[in-house]
Amino acid sequence: MNFQLTEEQIMIQQAARDYAQRELIQDVIERDEKAIYPTEHIRNLAELGFLGMLVDPQYDGGGMDTVSYVLAMEELSKVDSSVGVIISVNNSLVCFGLEKYGTEEQKEKYLKPLARGEVTGAFLLSEPGAGSDATSQQTKAIDMGDHYLVNGVKNWITNGHTASVYLLIAQTDPAKGHHGINALIVDRHAEGITVGPHENKMGMRSSDTHSVQFTDVKVPKENRIGEDGFGFKFAMKTLEGGRIGIASQALGIASGAYELARKYAMERKTFGKPIIRHQAIAFKLADMATEIEAARFLCLKAAWLKDQGQPYGIASAMAKQYAADMAMRVTTEAVQIHGGYGYVKEYHVERLMRDAKLTQIYEGTSEIQKVVVSRAIESGNI
């Protein structure tokens, strides 16, 4: 495997790094404290091409590879993973699902404005009783002939309020189990949709997270993605790519915390020397750097497999599981290295630690990824 990045990949990485270190850093603490959605930053990043970076240029996207996406996600998430998750959902869940499985009419109407960043999208799978168990959908999409009538509630929806396009997973025929689930494109402003209050989260506080209620919402039949009953497979295939995005966010969070801890350890002195020269601190940093590098290679492997058109579901599960757990360990150590300063907001590491926790929870918990990997082991695929 060639570990050398191309000139284009380096350029994309540098562009993301420059924006994050120059612009995102300026107001990240205020946005975190007040849970302010990063409207201007998302607009700017859309103009730079990051909202539809994986989409083919024929649909107005950037046509970039998944390795470039991982590099960009890491750099943005070093500073603000709230921005990272907004971009991740738009790219790896919404745009990917539409481009891979949508009709040409659906791509023309919905994918192109999403790829240009004129609008954002949201992926509506989780429910009060159907998070990790995606087969237990209680949201109903009743077939009414020329349209579906949707009723139900979705929880923990990133971009729930700001999105213009929803990709909704709903049950049409309960008797068929997961074969009775459909994926529908829904206009966020359709009659009967009620968006709940902004969730007051521990971390990633400036991302837009809401519950969404559907009451007799009419969705045209032409807005169904794939054949009748394709919705569960659509969700599972889409989440495989989504996990690469989450793993990259976790990688970025950890990498950002490590860089701050290293800088602090080189500047802070005790007993007449920088604390990085104390073995207790030096060994912490050595472990952090090694774990981050391991996570980076897992992320890049999953991305490379996807770019090569090879199966990547197991690799993305491994990357997500390891990177998320690693991010929690690394950010905790970063706070510890900072001592009392790590516990105050202006040093950033406490925010990164709070953000890291969410990567262990969404897009399937770390335990769910272990189920995916252990089943692959049992079947002889690993």
Q: Which of 227, 363, 367, 378 is catalytic?
A: 363
> Nearest 5 degrees, angle CA 134-CA 362-CA 55?
85
CA distance 137 to 127: 7
Cα–Cα distances in Å, from 349 out to 290, 321, 344, 355?
19, 21, 8, 10
Q: Is 3 exposed, middle or buried (0-12, 13-18, 19+ CB in 10 A)?
A: exposed
Beta strands 165-171 and 121-124, pairing class: parallel
Q: Which residue(s) pair with 240 in the sheet? A: none
Q: What is the DSSP string of 344-373?
A: SGGGSHHHHHHHHHHHTTSSS-HHHHHHHH
Q: Are 203 and 129 within 8 A, CB to CB? A: no
Q: Please, what's the b/e burial string for 264-274 (b: 16 or more CB within 10 A of its CB; e: otherwise)?
A: bbeeeeeeeee
CA distance 73 to 88: 8
Helix (H) or strand (E) holding 169, with range, is: strand 165-171
Q: What is the DSSP string of 36-71?
A: ---HHHHHHHHHTT-TTTTS-GGGTS----HHHHHH
Q: What is the DSSP string of 72-140?
A: HHHHHHHH-HHHHHHHHIIIIIIIHHHHHH--HHHIIIIIHHHHHTSS-EEEE--BTTBSS-TT----E
Active-site residue 363, yes or no?
Answer: yes
So which residues are the catalytic ones? 363
